[in-house]
Structure 1
Amino acid sequence: MESKPSGLASQALLNKIDQLRELNVKSIELPQLVVLGDQSSGKSSVLESLTSFSFPQAPGLCTRYATQISCCREPEESVTVSIIPQQNADAVTKTRLRAFKRNTTKLTNDVLVQIIQDANKVMGIRTTAEDTDPSLCTFSNNTLKIEICGPEQEHFTVIDVPGIFRVSSPPFTTDEDVDLVRNMVDSYIKNNRTIILAVLPSNVDITTQEILKMAEKADPGGVRTMGVLTKPDLVTEVATQRAIKDLVLGKGKQLRLGYCVVKNRSADDAQSTAFERLAQEEAFFGKPAWREIAASGRCGVGSLKTRLSDLLMNITKREFPHVKAEAMKQLEQRRRELEDMGPSRTDQSAQMMYLGRLGSKFQAVTQCALNGYYDSESLFAENPDLKLITAVTKTNEKFANTFWRRGHKRHTSPDWDDEGEAVYDLAGNDDNYLAQDILLSYPELHDIVKTDSYECSKPKAFNDDSITDHIEKVYQLNRGPELGTFSGSILSATFREQSEKWEPLVLAHVSELIGLVHDYISTLLACICPDEQILAQLWETVLIEQLRKAYIRAMEQARFLLRIERQSRPSTYNHYFNSEVQRKREDRFKELTAAAQYTSSEGAKLITVASVQDTIVNKENAQQIREDILDVLTSYYKVSRKRFVDNICNQVIGHFLLEGDESPLKIFNSELVMGLDSAQLELIAGEDVETRNRRSVLDSEIKNLEAAMRILRI
C-alpha cells in the first residue's frame, strides 16, 4: 500500500472532484467511494466512525436516497446540508431542491432529525405508512449532501446508498421500490472509478451475502472492491472466528483490495465519544482470540480510514486526466448535437431561417456533386453514394454503349460494324440490379418509372430472319408508282421496325436515372437534417409532390423525343448521312467487283469494263431498290441513333433531371422556403415537446460540462 499522499495539491485535487460531483454530470464517471450493505449490516456505524457523522435516531429516517458525506479541514466547525437534484429533474424542481440549505455548528440528534425531516419534505419523501399522498415517494434518486468541516477533519468523501431489501411492505414500500433501490445501487457501483466498500456482518455466512454478488457483477475482477467485516464481537464460534481471520489475512477467497474488520459500538451505546469507541475497539482486538490479526494493518476504523483515503487519492490522481479528457469529449459532443438541431424554432422567422439554411446547404452540396468537386465537402468522403455526377456519367455511358451494340433489331451486314469505336464489354455489368433495388425502395415513384429491369436482347444476325427479306416484304406491301426510287413511307416503316427496342431501353434508362437522383436527394437530406421529424414533414408535405412533377416532366420529354425520332418522317440535315450512303454504295461496289479483279504484269489491280457492266448494269430494278433502301436505312439509323442518344442524355438527363431550372435538384431552395405559409412552417419546422425537451437537456448538460471544464482547468 502506498503511503498516504498529503499536501495542498492533493487537497485541491479532491476538492475538484467534490465540486464536479456537485454538478451531478452523470455522463462523467468520477472517482468515488460508495458504501453498500444490507439493512442492519452495521453500515451506519461504519460511516459514523469514518466521518464522525452520527446518523439520526428517529422512526422513518432510514436512508431513502444516496447521501454524500464530505469531510474537510477548516478552522471552524460547521455542518452544511444541501440537496443535489437528480439529473433528469425539470428546471423548476432543480431550482427548488438546490434552494434547500441548512447550516449549523452544533449537530445534535434533535437538530439533525429536524434537518433530515425538512429535506425529506422538500424531496417529497414518504416517511410513514400514514403518508397517503400519491405525489410522495418512499425512495428518491436525489442526493443529500452533508459537508462536515472542522480543525480535526481530514478531506474524505464517501457516498452512502440505501440498504438493499428484498421484500416489500405495502403500502409503505412496493415491489417497484425494491427494484428502484437495487437500480440505484447498481448505477453507483458500475462506475469503473468507484471503490466499492461492501459492509458485511461477521456473524453471517459471507458466501451467501447478496451484496458481494452485486459487487462481483459490477467488478468481476474484484480490483475495486473492499470488504468490511462488522460485529466481530458477536462471533463466538471458533470456526467462524477462524474464517473471519483467514479473510482478513488473505487466506480465503479474496478481493483484490482485501478485507478489513472493525468493531461497531453496541446498540445501547449512544453516549461514548469517538475517542472512547476507538479505545474500546483497540482493546477488543488485543484479546487473544483476535491478537493474530491485530498487527495486519486491517483491524480497526483507523486502519480502514487510512486505507480508504489512500485508495481514494490514488484512483483520483490516476483517473483525473481521463476525467478531464472525458469532460471535454462530452462537451464537444453535446455542442455538436445542439448545433445539429439548429437554433430554437419557436417562431415563424426562426423556422424559416432554419429551413432556409437547410436549402442553402442542399444547393451548395449539390453543386459540388454535379461538378465533381468532391474534396470541398466532407459528406462525400463519409457517404460515397452522394457522388452524383460520377454515377450519372457511368450510367449514361452504359446506356450509350448498350444502345450502340444492341439497340437495333437486326444487323444490316454479315459483320457487325463497330464504326471505329472501342468495344464495350457488357458482360458482368450488374449495375442495373442496384438501380432496380433503388427504385423499389421508393413506392412514390412506381406510377412514374419502370420498376422492371429491361434486358436488351442481342440483334438478330444478318443471315437469320434476313433484313433484306424484311425490306423486300415492306417494299412489296408499300410500293407506289415511283420508278427506280422508293417512297418515304418505306423508310419510315423499316426504321420503326429496326428501332423498336428504343422505347423500353430509353424508359428503363430514364427510370434508372430518376432513381439515382431521388436516392441522392433523400440521402443528402438525411445527412444535413438530423431531425427525423423535420425531415419526414419536409419530405411528405412539400418535396414529394414537387419531385414527382419533375420526374413526370423528364419521362414526358423522353417519350416526346421517342415520338419525334421514331414516328415522324425520317429527316436529317447532317452531311454525315450522305457520306455514309456513299460509303455504303462504295463498299457494296468493292464487294461485287472483288471477284472480277486480276493482276497485271506490272502488279496493278485491274477489272474489265464488261465485268463492271455485269455488276452494275445487269441488275434487276427490285434488287437495286432493296439495296438502296438498306443503304439509306443503315446510314440514317446511324445518324439518328447518335443524335437520339445525345438528346436523351443532354435534354432528359442533363436538363430535366440535373441542371434545368425545373430540375428536381433545384426544388429545395430558399424560394421554396419563402413561399411556405405559417401553417406549413409550423408543421415542418416547429419544435414538438420532445425536441424542446431535448434542447433543454442539451443546454443544461452543456452548462454543467462548461462549469466542469472551468473546475478542471483551475
Structure 2
Amino acid sequence: MKEVYEVMELSGPGGKSDEKTFLNDVLQLEISGPDEDHLSVIDVPGIFKNTTEGVTTKNDIETVRDMVYSYMRNPRSIMLTVVPANVDIATQEIVEMARELDQDGERTLGQDLLDQNTDRQSETRFFRDVSPWNTLEKERVGISALRTRLQEVITTRIRHEFPKVKAEISKRLQVSRRMLQALGTERDTPEKQRAFLVGLATQYERVTSHAMSANYGADDLFDKHKELRIATIVAQRNDVFSSNMEFWGHERDADSDDEIFDDKRKKKVNIRTTTDKDDLEDIIQPQEYLLSPSLGITYWLKTLYQDSRGFELGTFASTLLPAIMKEQSKKWDLVALGYISDIMVMTHSYVLCLLEAICVDERIKSGLVSVLMDGLLDRYRKARDQVVFLLNIEEIKPSSHIK
C-alpha cells in the first residue's frame, strides 16, 4: 500500500502531506482461484460532511459523494451499506441515498460496524457469547451469513438483469456487424482499392440523385441526417430570398397603412441564415444585416426630378430612370451575396454529411475530403463570381460590402 500511495500521489503512508487525499482513479486488484466468488467488490470511501484541516477539503466532500453515487446508481450494483452500530441510522446519509436509488430494497444490504475495542477473539465466539449480539438470528450475522446473503442477492440480480444484458449485447453486436459490413471487403490490392472507391462514388451519386429530386423515402439516411434534404433546404432558402427582396431589397418605400409593411419597417434582417464555416471563410459573405427601407419615396422622386430637369417639355429625361434604379437597388448586392453564401454553406454541409454517413473509416473520409476540397472551393468561388457578374450586368455596382 505504501507503493500505491506513492504511485497514485496520495497523502498517507508512503505519500507526501501536500498531496491529495482522494482521487477518481481506481486501484484494481484481481484475485482468482477455484474457490473465489465471481464478483467485483468496490470499496469506496465513506461519505463525510466536515473537513479536517490539512487532510480534506470541501472539494473532497463532493468528490467522494459523486464517486459513491456513480457506483450506487448502477442498477446492476449491489449496495452494501456499512454504518456504525452505535449511532442513529436515521442520521446516516448513505442509507438515505440507498433508499432513493433502490426504493424496494432489492439490491441493498445493511451491515453494522462494531466498535474496534470490542472483545472479539473470533467472530463465531463473539456472536455466540457476547450480549446482546448473541440474541440475533444466526443466519443474519457474521461473514458466513453475509456471504450466503450476497450470493442470493447476486443470483437474483443476475436473473433480473440478464435479459437486459443480453439485449444490450445483441444491439452492440448488430452495430459492430453493420460497421464491419460498411468497411467492405479486404482492400489489399490496387484493384480492390479502386473497386471500393468506385462503390463509394456510386453510393454518393445514388443518394445525391434522390436528394436532388426530393425522393427522401428512398434511403434511411434522409431520416437520420436532415442536412441531406438539400432540395428542401434550398427551396426554403429561396423563399427567404424572395421575401428579403420584396420587403427589404429596396432603398425607399412609400408611406403605407399596411401593418405588414409597418411591422417589417420596425426591424432589421440578417442577410445570412446559416452559420459560418471555417473552410469557406475567404469565400462567403460576412454576417451583416439590412435596414428597413426609408419612407417617403414620393417626396424623394419629386426632389430627384426637380434636381435633374433639363429642357424637355411635359416629360422627364431618360437619364432619370437609371439614377432611380441605381439608388433603389443598393441592397441587391448584400441580398444576393448573402443568398449565394448560404447556398454554399448548405452544399458544403451536405457534402461533408454524406461522406460522413457512407464512410465508416475516418481515415478514408478525411482523405476524400482533402482530395475534394480544392475542387469544391473552386466551384464555390465560381458561383460567387457569377452572382457578382449578374449584378454588374444589371449595372448594379457592388458596394464596399462585397469582399
1:553: how far off? 1.9
Summarize the alignment of residues 597-636 of structure 1 with structure 2, pairs less than 5 Å apart.
none
1:326 aligns with 2:153: no
> 1:622-661, CA deviations, whole angstroms, 9 ceiling, x for partnerless residues?
xxxxxxxxxxxxxxxxxxxxxxxxxxxxxxxxxxxxxxxx
Letter in 2 for 1:561: L
SS at match of 2:33: strand
How far apart are the structure 2 equivalents of 1:406 and 1:198? 69
Aligned to 2:288: 452
Deviation (angstroms), 1:312: 2.7
Aligned partner (choices 226, 229, 237) of residue 109 of structure 2: 226
1:550 aligns with 2:392: no
- 1:287/1:523 CA distance change after superposition, 3 Å: same
Q: Is the 8 A contact 1:435 1:516 kept in 2?
A: no
**1:374 aligned partner:** 216
**Structure 2: segments with no counterpart, 5+ residues:** 5-13, 15-25, 47-65, 397-403
User: Shift in Å at residue 542 of structure 1?
Assistant: 3.6
1:518 to 333, 339, 345: 345
State the 1:550 CA deviation: 1.6
Per the TM alignment, residue 525 of structure 1 is displaced from its structure 2 partner at its CA by 1.5
Is it true that 1:193 corresponds to 2:76 in the alignment?
yes
Report how far residue 321 of structure 1 moved.
Answer: 1.8
Question: Superposition pairs for residues 214-363 of structure 1, below 5 Å?
Answer: 223=105, 224-227=107-110, 235-236=118-119, 263-264=122-123, 281=124, 285-287=127-129, 289=131, 292-293=134-135, 295=137, 297-299=139-141, 303-335=145-177, 359-363=201-205
* Counterpart residue identity of residue 390, structure 2: L
The amino acid of 2:323's aligned partner reads E
Aligned residues: 342
Q: Which residue of structure 2 lines up, in the alignment, with residue 469 of structure 1?
A: 305
- 1:509 is aligned to 2:389: no
Distance 2:255 2:71 in 1: 82
**Does residue 40 of structure 2 align to residue 157 of structure 1?**
no
Q: Which residue of structure 2 aligns with residue 662 of structure 1?
A: none
Does the 8 Å contact 1:408/1:499 carry over to 2? no
Would you say the 8 A contact 2:81–2:94 is kept in 1? no
Contact 2:78 2:154 in 1 (8 A): yes
Could you tell me the percent identity over the aligned residues? 22
Distance 2:228 2:255 in 1: 42
Equivalent residues of 2:276, 2:345 under 8 A apart: no
Cross-structure match for 1:499: 325
- 2:122 and 2:262 map into 1 onto residues whose CA distance is 87
Secondary structure in structure 2 of the residue aligned to 1:147: coil
Code of the aligned partner of 1:453? Y
Are the equivalent residues in 2 in contact too, given 1:510–1:555 (CA < 8 A)? Answer: yes
Shift of 1:451: 4.4
Deviation at 1:434, TM superposition (A): 5.8
> Would the alpha carbon gap of residues 398 and 432 (structure 1) be closer, same or farther in structure 2, given more than 3 Å must change?
farther
Structure 1 residue 303, shift from structure 2 partner: 4.3
C-alpha distance 329-508 of structure 1, shift in aligned 2 (>3 A)? same
Counterparts of residues 560-599 of structure 1 (less than 5 Å): 560-566=389-395
Deviation at 1:392, TM superposition (A): 2.9
Secondary structure of 2:301's counterpart equals coil
Structure 2 letter corresponding to 1:235: T
Letter in structure 2 aligned against 1:147: P
User: Displacement of 1:364 after TM fit?
Assistant: 3.5
Q: Compare relative contact order (CA 8 Å, sep 6+) and give the higher one, 1 or 2.
A: 1
Distance 1:415 1:430 in 2: 14
Query: What are the superposed Cα offsets for residues 518-567 of structure 1, whole Å, 9 maximum, x if unpaired?
Result: 2342255236417767666654x344432332233223333333444449
Residues 285, 338 of structure 2: 8 Å contact kept: yes
User: 1:193 aligns to what SS in structure 2?
Assistant: coil
State how far apart, in whole Å, the 2-side matches of 1:322 and 1:349 are: 44
Q: Structure 2-normalised TM-score?
A: 0.58
Task: Give, in angstroms, the shift of residue 440 of structure 1.
Answer: 4.0
Mapped to 1, the partners of 2:196 and 2:164 lie a distance apart of 37
CA contact (8 A) 1:233 1:263 kept: no
Is the CA contact 1:189–1:215 (under 8 Å) kept in the aligned structure 2? no
Q: For 2:147 and 2:156, locate their aligned partners in 1 and report how far apart those are by CA, in whole Å.
A: 14
Seen in structure 2, the aligned counterparts of structure 1 residues 382 and 185 have a Cα distance that, compared at 3 Å, is closer
Q: Residue 435 and residue 466 in structure 1: after superposition, are their counterparts in 2 closer, same or farther (change >3 A)?
A: closer
2:186, 2:292 → 1: CA distance? 54
* Aligned equivalents of 1:512, 1:140: Cα separation in 2: 58
Give the TM-score normalised by the residue count of structure 1. 0.37
The 1:425/1:216 distance shift into structure 2, 3 A limit, reads same
Q: What is the rounded CA distance, in whole Å, between the counterparts of 2:325 and 2:373 in structure 1?
A: 35
Within 1, Cα distance between the matches of 2:270 and 2:179? 33
Task: Give the Cα separation in 2 of the matches to 1:440 and 1:426.
Answer: 31
What runs of 5+ residues in structure 1 fail to find an aligned partner? 1-38, 40-59, 65-128, 130-138, 149-155, 167-182, 242-261, 265-280, 417-423, 480-484, 568-714
**For residues 315-374 of structure 1, what are the alpha-carbon distances to aligned partners after superposition, in whole Å with 9 as ceiling and x for unaligned?**
222222222222223333444566677778888677766665554444434333332223
1:49-94, Cα deviation, whole Å (9 max, x unpaired): xxxxxxxxxxx9xxx9xxxxxxxxxxxxxxxxxxxxxxxxxxxxxx
